[in-house]
Chain A
Amino acid sequence: MPDCGLVLSVSELSKAYGDTVAVDRVSFDVGRNEIVGLLGPNGAGKTTVINMILGVLEPDGGSIRIEGLDVTRHRSQALARTNFAAVYAPLPGNLSVAQNLRIFGMIYGVADLPHRIDELIGQFDLAAFRDVKCGLLSSGEQTRVCLAKAMLNRPTVLLLDEPAASLDPATAREIRAGIRETARSGSGGVLWTSHNMYEVEEVCDRVLFLSHGKILLEGDPKTLPHDHGKDTLEELFITVAREPLTLERG
């Protein structure tokens, strides 16, 4: 029986490309109303984990459950409960903001779609760009459209891969506050990757440090650095990236 408090359960997840092990028996959970940071240097395996959760990459081993639904066996039902935003996956630039939201809303089976689109366009301050093609927007505006798309179906599991990377500090703060509020008041959880340790500390309830495809550390971002003799999360991150062997999973 799935734990009612967990929205995402990843167990013994593995993926290799030939002889290169990208993800090595990774296990973690995301609880309801929880924001979990997935951290690690470039090539640590974060995006590989996210791609497997999104069903676009088949794991070699292990399982992924979204509200108890196995992603491999019940892909469509499980993915109807997720959504994502990533800087490397912009919405089609040849369609307008409203057209993109309508099409993805239909794919995700969003009820009362016109109302939901209006709501998100207001929430992400996109009214002026409603009928503008996404390809003509600035990178920051495109990021806001991607986030609006990611919220369309009020996902149980929201995956955000560096969601605020293209945003100016003021907008990034607003967006972070919005996502935090959504996570607190809604019924879902968030898996968040970022290289901005300030952002992670501000937003995440818990962080997982991934290195060479393995989870090296796990804990509260506010206390974890001190637990490992570091002053800041950024120092800890650098240690994970350069000297992972000096650390053990906490």
Chain B
Amino acid sequence: MQPVRIGAIVLRHFYLLRGSPARVVPLFAWVAIDIVLWGFITRYLNSVAAAPGFNFVPSLLGAVLLWDFLVRVMMGVTTAFFEDVWSRNFLIIFATPLEISEYVGGLVLSSIATSSVGLAVMLLVAAAAFGLSFLGYGLMLVPFLLVLFLTGIALGIFGAAVVLRFGPAAEWFIWPIPALLSPFAGVFYPLATLPRWMQYLARLLPPSYVFEGVRQVVAGHAVSGVALVGGGCLAVVGLLLACWFFLGIYRHAVRTGLIARYSAESVS
């Protein structure tokens, strides 16, 4: 693996961002709007429904922020990949010495850069407008973010593989993935709220351990280290599975000629 080649993939994304407000604004605009919207909702809930001493801001607004971070990480990977889909770039990119691990590494690094912008803006708006301090989560914030980051990367790589296999139109399967997963991840409510069958599925999703942990921290209870490590392990397994899936799809594409024909959008 050569860092310069990974750097080339990141540089390409940087050039696209630098020259295009249409690409820069979505990095922070939608998540900032989400924080403002949920900030006012939590304030309203605090005024009408909160039990004495209970604060919706760190539990609900914090959960929104963490979930949006996962979504930004996922979109960071898929959007960088979609740039190659939209510019019909596969043949010219893959007919180079670039290794598939270097290409995916470039997508991940691009995502780290773009999702960091979104995270910083969310933290700023949430702290300045609604008094949400992530210091309240203590050191647990590090594993929380790490598990969400790994899950976001895994979902992004999985989404890229699906579009590589099924063609450009399949991107419409990818955008709704976070919305599809959020009810199972227990972003806004304890998993115990869910029907039994949904709880079983939720236990397979690493973010569910994070959001259960967030609620524990907010309630002043200790977070189950075992559960969080389990979530972390699931996230690592998910990432490995996503990489394996992408590699399998790429090999299939090379075997069938999909890569060479992709630029002509003749994928079926």
Contacts and interface: CB of A to CB of B under 8 A. Distances in A.
Interface of A: 17, 47-48, 51, 54-58, 75-77, 79-80, 84, 86, 88-96, 99, 102-104, 106-109
A107 B15 contact: no
Contacts of A96: 15
A93 B96 CA distance: 18
A107 B264 contact: no
A57 to B, nearest CB: 5
Contact of A51 (B11, B15, B260, B264): B260
12 contacts: A47-B260, A51-B260, A56-B91, A56-B94, A57-B257, A79-B95, A91-B92, A96-B15, A106-B5, A106-B7, A107-B97, A108-B96
B268 interface: no
Interface of B: 2, 4-5, 7-8, 11-12, 15-16, 19-20, 83, 87, 89, 91-92, 94-99, 251, 254-257, 259-260, 263-264
Contact of B4 (A77, A79, A92, A106): A106
Contacts of B98: 76, 107
Contacts of A54: 95
Contacts of A89: 91-92, 95, 263
A109 B97 contact: yes
Given A54-B95, A89-B263, A106 B254 contact: no
Nearest to A135: B87
Contacts of B255: 58
Given A55-B94, A104-B96, 7 more contacts: A55-B95, A56-B257, A94-B19, A94-B87, A106-B8, A107-B97, A108-B97
B16 to A, nearest CB: 6
A109 B5 CA distance: 8
A57 B20 CA distance: 34
Contacts of A51: 95, 257, 260
B11 A88 contact: no
B265 to A, nearest CB: 12
Contacts of A17: 256-257
A94 B16 contact: yes
B254 A57 contact: yes
A76 B103 CA distance: 13
| Most chain A beta-carbon neighbours within 10 Å: one of B7, B20, B89 | B89
A95 B257 contact: no
B99 A103 contact: no
Contacts of B92: 89-92
B11 A103 contact: yes
Given A56-B91, A89-B91, A94-B87, A107 B257 contact: no
| Most chain B beta-carbon neighbours within 10 Å: one of A57, A77, A79, A96 | A57
Contacts of B11: 102-103, 106
A94 B94 CA distance: 18
A58 B254 CA distance: 6
Nearest to A81: B97
B254 A103 contact: no
A218 to B, nearest CB: 25
A13 to B, nearest CB: 14
Nearest to A133: B19
A77 B96 CA distance: 10
| Most chain A beta-carbon neighbours within 10 Å: one of B2, B97, B256 | B97
Given A56-B259, A80-B97, A94-B16, A109 B2 contact: yes
B264 A57 contact: no
